[in-house]
A and B are shown apart, each in its own frame.
Chain A
Amino acid sequence: MKKEQYSIEPFLDLSAILTGFERVDLLGTGMVDIYYDEVVNVVGKATSRELWETTAQIIERSGKDGRKFETAIRREILASAKFGPIARNIIQMWYTGIWNELPQSWRDLYGTSPDDTTRIISSEAYQQGLVWEVIEAHPPAAKQPGFASWSYRPSGDKH
């Protein structure tokens, strides 16, 4: 892990709870550093640091209590006017590889970055979208699954 351990760790933990995927699965996409940079770049260093710090505090407070962790994430991050839209963007980014322009109300309050535009982050991001894993399909035109694979039923055991 090349980035400052302190920031990447809470980002990864936050991503795991928000997406419902394990940390290793997110690491396995190779997108952690890229998505981390994306968030920092768009919402700015100060706001993103605040988000990682809030996440780190929640983790420390809830210890190994998964329920407590989830409730705190809902209350303090998803329901927060400042962090909620970022968190929802993080979910969409992991699932679809797309960064969505933040809501105007958020931009009015917390500032606008020229990079805050709706776009596919990269071809890699498109291919690594978690949505493909969940629906047990492959991203069209990438990660081909082999001839006649479409004739098999999805196993239904993936998330």
Chain B
Amino acid sequence: MTIIKPLIIANRHRLVREGRPRIPEAARIKTLPSLRRHLQTAIELEHSTIPPYLCALYSIEEGDNLPSSEIIQSVVVEEMLHMILASNVLNAIGGQPSINHPRFIPEYPTFLPHSDKSFEVGLQKFSKPTIDTFLRIELPAKPKAPPEANRYHTIGQFYEAIEDGLIRLSEEKNIFTGDRARQITTEYYYGGGGGVIPVHDLDSALKALSEIVGQGEGVYHTIFDGDHKLFGEKIEYAHYFRFNEIHEERYYTKRDTPKSGPTGKRLPVNWDGVYDMRPNPKMKDYPKGTELRKKIYDFNRIYVSLLDDLHRAFNGEPKQLLNAVVRMYDVKYQAIELMKIPVNEEGMTAGPSFEYVPPKG
């Protein structure tokens, strides 16, 4: 384990230090405040994928599509881990993650924060077009794609620009001055792939970032996510390839490559075993004072209190993460209830709208 960890990081260093691919001077992150802003964006970016993934997951009728449910669920849990990892890096460089501000949740459908706006992400039921969108979210960077701090084409490019910023700025002075008590440590995370990495120096920061990118897109353009090397887990495929298994209705095998596609056994998908959630639900779809509007409002209140818990957890009260876990189950059951409520003659149903609503009073 100790041999392989530095190896991955060393390669990433080299990739940046040799200047190949070069970050255009104008796109570099040059100041600590700018680096902090980018890491805040990273947290928002990781979060922005969670409501769409949850909508697809909770639209699957109970007991149906178990393999697909498991795949989406495993990805969502890792996106949550990515939020934690990005927050740890931000806290390590003296930043303050902001999780519960009114604009933290994007208005769906939305372009991903800071992206090149080539595609929109919405709140949609589980379907083939939805999985297409998920594939675009998790698309691996092309091997020679340059890192970009703004208007990046893939999430990996965005993180590479952050890595470059971390390395350059820490060459000038020690930027890892954050209070260690603000780090989320390993005991607070359970139930997903990978693990929490507390961040206190450049090495741990780069390790945290490579964990994010590796889980999303795969390491070195293989289909693996690197966790089996970093954490001694069973081999698990990166998000892009896990979604591709659903898309192709077939599992990957260990011998498969990105080019070969999945060649393993069939992964059964029942595209009809799904609640027909009306896309991109909003509270304003239903008149004020109606029961349904209130029910969607109640869902949003719980979701925002979950963000409040996370905000406190990332700002010096790590134990709040346990509260958040309990709240996540509430979010789940309330979202599923909404999925079952018919809203029109065609049998479409309501759904969770993931809108910011301030606390009462």
Contacts and interface: CB of A to CB of B under 8 A. Distances in A.
Interface stretch (A39-47, A54-62, A143-151): A143-151
B233 interface: no
A2 interface: yes
Interface stretch (A21-29, A79-87, A100-108): A21-29
B12 interface: no
A86 to B, nearest CB: 25
B8 interface: no
Contacts of A124: 62
A27 B341 contact: yes
B134 to A, nearest CB: 26
Given A144-B329, A146-B328, A25 B322 contact: no
A30 B340 contact: yes
A146 B291 contact: no
A158 B136 CA distance: 41
Contact of A28 (B322, B325, B337): B337
Interface residues of B, number: 20
Main secondary structure of the interface of B (DSSP, over half): helix
Contacts of A152: 326
A24 B326 contact: no
A147 B321 CA distance: 11
A149 B294 CA distance: 25
Nearest to A149: B326
A7 B330 CA distance: 32
Give the dominant DSSP class at A's interface: loop
A152 B328 CA distance: 15
A1 interface: yes
B345 to A, nearest CB: 8
Interface residues of A, number: 19
Contact of B292 (A1, A24, A30, A149): A24
Contact of A27 (B322, B325, B330, B340): B340
A149 B337 contact: no
Interface in A6-23: 22-23
A147 B347 contact: no
A124 B62 CA distance: 9
Contacts of A143: 329, 333
Contacts of A28: 295, 336-338, 340-341
Interface of A: 1-2, 22-25, 27-30, 124, 143-149, 152
